[in-house]
Structure 1
């Protein structure tokens, strides 16, 4: 009985609950607790199905558990796989979106593992893991980039374990703007916490902030005054956003098409211990 109890404790302790943050409450979270091989909680997540978008990606996103399933120890694995002459993968999106109220701050955060792209870059050619968010208006008929986009974590073997945090939006002239972008180096093959904070606590849109973090340390920020237009800033910081996690395959950002040396399966996967959204008290 002691052995059984010990094993049960070890299993339970492997579930990676979202950590508490001083001054914040968790308003949504998923610790991916569940049976090994099971699908994600569909009350929290929805799957995008099909090719995806127009970035030159080649994967087909599916609902197949082979492409996204719970690990059994409190993680979700997002796994690119070869399929005939092509590739399949998964893209998970939260069912809901969340906005940061006036005089509050809000954080989108996840703890993520991806392979070490500097270890043997050719193995990871064309893999493109990402943790990001889009404005909920995109689901209500507003096309990209007018809906707004936060790139919280995205990389490829071309970036050699550098993350690029970027904003995409439609500027006051109706043009796509992606000039606000900050880079930070991280250690590949390890778990890291990636986060973006919307901070409206000053009560002045020009001093509102979007702040990017790696393992709790700020590495980039953009303010309303830098963007310089209230309507544009509302796209970026006031409307609700929904969370997205995926592993794409192909596209210029990821080095073009995969080749015979590109790995698939668990070794190529993105693994997430938890995802959470926080709001200041």
Structure 2
């Protein structure tokens, strides 16, 4: 798991070196009133480079299955339309990529299928830099995400008290805009603390971009391609700050429909795939 191919090291260096100009101007990506607490976390402590074809490494990833009914949250709590499976049609590692694919098909009473993988109980961590290099799908009603949930102490705590950090959310009908958000007690769902960043001259579905956070005591910084576009601190939230207390785990998924994106578009073409080149954690 800790072996990085030379090609991916080279890609990483290109990304970091090629974006020095953007990083130098990072303070202009946030409001002038935002306090910048830019940190440097570059000690690699965990990674998945998706170098072995087949199912995602079971030592690293589990899967959420179904439409949320078994978990007591039909539509996964967001009026989503997909049924999650762990079939290779929906979740597979091929050619150095994790592919999460949404399909329009009748399956177990749902009109769409997709995949949702997570590191719950396998890899959980408090604080660090969490990043992934991803190319996103495109189309009305697609809702890909790279995010984190707090440890629920085996069901002893519930959302939003456990906290949620959305490193990357994206509306398939807005292919230049990324969203970074936080949910907690008093600021969840439609009241999440959030900010968006518009690439303007580029699209998120036509090339890979690096989405990340740097998370430490009392702050979470949000990045795209190492440009800081958001910082959230305890002063920004409208309830309790629950992000310094416990470990969080990683989730990656593609939802279809839901309150964040609206109904699937009649003209959206399927299959639609989120391609993940790597996931890495630094401290």
TM-score normalised per structure 2? 0.76
Shift of 1:129: 0.7
Q: How does 1:195-274 map to 2 (within 5 A)?
A: 195-200=212-217, 208-227=218-237, 232-233=240-241, 235-259=242-266, 261-265=267-271, 268-274=272-278
Does residue 30 of the first structure (1) align with residue 48 of the second (2)? yes
Is 2:147 the partner of 1:132?
A: yes
Tell me the secondary structure at the aligned position of residue 214 of structure 2: strand
Instruction: Flag structure 2 segments of 5+ consecutive residues without an equivalent.
Output: 17-39, 69-75
**Alpha-carbon distance in structure 2 between the residues aligned to 1:155 and 1:145:** 21
Say how many residue pairs are matched.
238
Task: Give me the whole-angstrom Cα distance separating, in 2, the residues matched to 1:113 and 1:18.
Answer: 15
Conserved? CA contact 2:142–2:173, under 8 Å: no
Match of 1:142 in 2: 157
SS across alignment from 1:253: coil
Task: Considering fraction of residues, name the structure with more helix.
Answer: 1
- Relative to structure 1, the CA distance from residue 39 to residue 277 in structure 2 (aligned partners, 3 Å threshold; closer, same or farther) is same
SS at match of 1:80: strand
Taking only aligned residues, the RMSD between alpha carbons, in angstroms, comes to 2.5
1:17 is displaced (CA, Å) by 8.9
In structure 1, what is the equivalent of residue 124 of structure 2? 97
Correspondence for 1:181 among 166, 180, 194? 194
Structure exhibiting the larger radius of gyration computed from Cα positions: 1
Match of 1:4 in 2: none
Q: Could you say which residue in structure 2 is the equivalent of 1:54? A: 77
1:203 maps to none
Normalising by the residue count of structure 1, what TM-score does the alignment of the two structures yield? 0.77
Give 1:160 deviation, angstroms: 4.0
Looking at structure 1, the residues matched to 220 and 11 of structure 2 have their Cα atoms a distance apart, in angstroms, of 21
**Maintained 8 Å contact 1:110/1:276:** yes
Question: Structure 1 pair 18/130, CA: closer, same or farther in 2 (3 Å)?
Answer: farther
Which structure 1 segments of 5+ residues have no match? 1-11, 101-105, 118-123, 201-207
